[in-house]
Amino acid sequence: MKDYEFYYTQDGSIGLYSYTNEDVYHSKFGALTEAWEKFILPAGISKRLNKQEDINVLDVCYGVGYNTKALISYIIKNDEKYLNKKFFDKHFFKNKKIKNDNQKNNLNKTIDTIDSNNICDNETKLLLPTDTKQEEYISKIYIDCLEIDDELVKISPFLKTVLTPQEIFTKIVPKIFDCFDLYWTVRKKLSKFTLKIALRNPKKITEILDLKYNNDYDLLNSNYKIHKYTNYIIINALLEKYKDEYITKELKSKLRKREHRKFFDKSMIKYAKFMQSFKYNLLQKFNIFAFLHNIYYRYFAIRYKKVNFKAIESLIKLRFYVNDARKSILTINKQYDVIFLDAFTCSKAPELWSVEFIAELYKRLSPRGVLITYSTSALVRNTLLENNFYLGKIVDNKTNKSIGTIAVKAKNLIEEPLSNYEIGLCNTKAGIPYHDPGLCASRDYILSHREYDFKTSDLPTSTQYMRSRLSKKEDNDDE
């Protein structure tokens, strides 16, 4: 983790700064908030959830997984009433097709082997009770994650979200004091105290990103919290991928480093170590302990309350592709309902914004699917337009400004279309796209090729375009 620096964003989530790219992985104003407002909410998951049997999602540039974590949390929260153990078991077993008597007997077993899954399988459809004629399902979610950095993928479930001074304040001071002068006295003193005990960002990263230490923290929207089961699901998926090579000696030493410890959740690290050691070391020698694993897995590690974790895990399937995203995308042959494109900015990672790479994403987007990106640049939007996407924008309700772009194949899915001004910008030099014909060119080659196209182009610059629009407005005012 020499190339990265962790820091606290304003909503208490942890951001990442890359020294190699000289760029942040997340907004300093809130990594978790950004994932929700720029990706999850605009994706319209609620319109698909439990209305179609399978939902396929592609997370391009997984990083430390905020988009995936937020998506899983959103699904669990919306499915919680269906995933209550009693409800799930009742309706699942009612609808499950039992092929023979042996299967019936297996359903009654209380102790399973380590690799069994008696909750759901690929051949099972769980129908929800409904009064309408249209069938509804508890949707199964398949999330494919593309990321080039093996280390970031492994540490992603260990990052924690800290309490901000504002959250500490609202938890301690009762709202009843709002009616009295005492409230303001308590608030002033407690605010000073919480700022003293709150975790601070390293001085170096504070100067680079122009961060204040802690007095600029905001209160995280309660709906944006990461569900407690999310990181368990990710860890289990990573264990399936890496097996006994997940928590290596090298990774352990990095997780133990003093400067990194405060950013990691110790309980998640312990869980991953235990699961790896028990599942891939002890059980290979002593299969007799399989039932002990199930007891730990079901009752001790996860601690069932309102939601059946086993049911949740059976409905959310994660798959990780750790390689150059350009190579990974060529190995995937499926259609996605939602694609998150969350790469570094264009100048830092041009290979993931090229016409050819976006063309591969277009091929893999379903007819009613949506591609979401945080970028509002003319270059990115023009690249999407060249690949026959219909474009819309993500609007911040607070500022009424565009904070992202939505690309679709079906025009009627667009709720906020681009303005004439935004479309006009795409037809300037600023909109000249990157090209990577073989999906293998170096970053420097792609940048230099576009620079040549920029210099030799007859298109107006963005500045000239803005001036011409301004002059037209002035002429119209004179008339």
Point out the residues of the chain with pLDDT beneath 70. Answer: 1-2, 28, 81-137, 163-200, 203-222, 280-308, 473-479
Residue 308 has what pLDDT?
67
Backbone torsions φ then ψ of 268, nearest 5 degrees: -70, -40
Q: What is the pLDDT of residue 4?
A: 80
pTM of the model: 0.81
Tell me how far apart the alpha carbons of residues 220 and 30 are, in angstroms, rounded to a whole number. 8
Q: For residue 478, count other CB atoms closer than 10 A to its CB.
A: 5
Q: What are phi and psi of 42, to 5 degrees?
A: -70, -20
Question: Residue 17: what pLDDT?
Answer: 82
CA distance 23 to 16: 9
Task: Look at residue 198 in the predicted model and tell me its pLDDT.
Answer: 64
d(CA 432, CA 460): 11
Q: Quick one: which of 433, 432, 430, 434 has its CA closest to 466?
A: 430
What confidence score (pLDDT) does residue 302 get? 45
Q: Which long-range contacts (CB under 8 A, 24 or more apart) does 438-445 make?
A: 439/326, 439/327, 439/330, 439/351, 439/354, 439/356, 439/357, 439/360, 440/326, 441/351, 443/349, 443/350, 443/351
Give the residue ranges of DSSP H helices in 165-256: 165-172, 181-197, 203-208, 230-242, 249-255
Backbone angles phi, psi at 150, to 5 degrees: -60, -40
Question: pLDDT, tens digit, for every residue of 325-376?
Answer: 999 999 999 999 999 999 998 989 999 999 999 999 999 999 999 999 999 9
User: What's the rounded Cα separation, in Å, for the pair 361 and 379?
Assistant: 17
Of residues 13, 14, 19, the one with CA closest to residue 1: 19
Measured distance CA(166)–CA(216) in Å, rounded: 10
Structure tokens at 1: 């983790």
Q: What is the pLDDT of residue 90?
A: 52
> What burial class does residue 200 get, using C-beta atoms within 10 Å of its C-beta: 0-12 exposed, 13-18 middle, 19+ buried?
middle
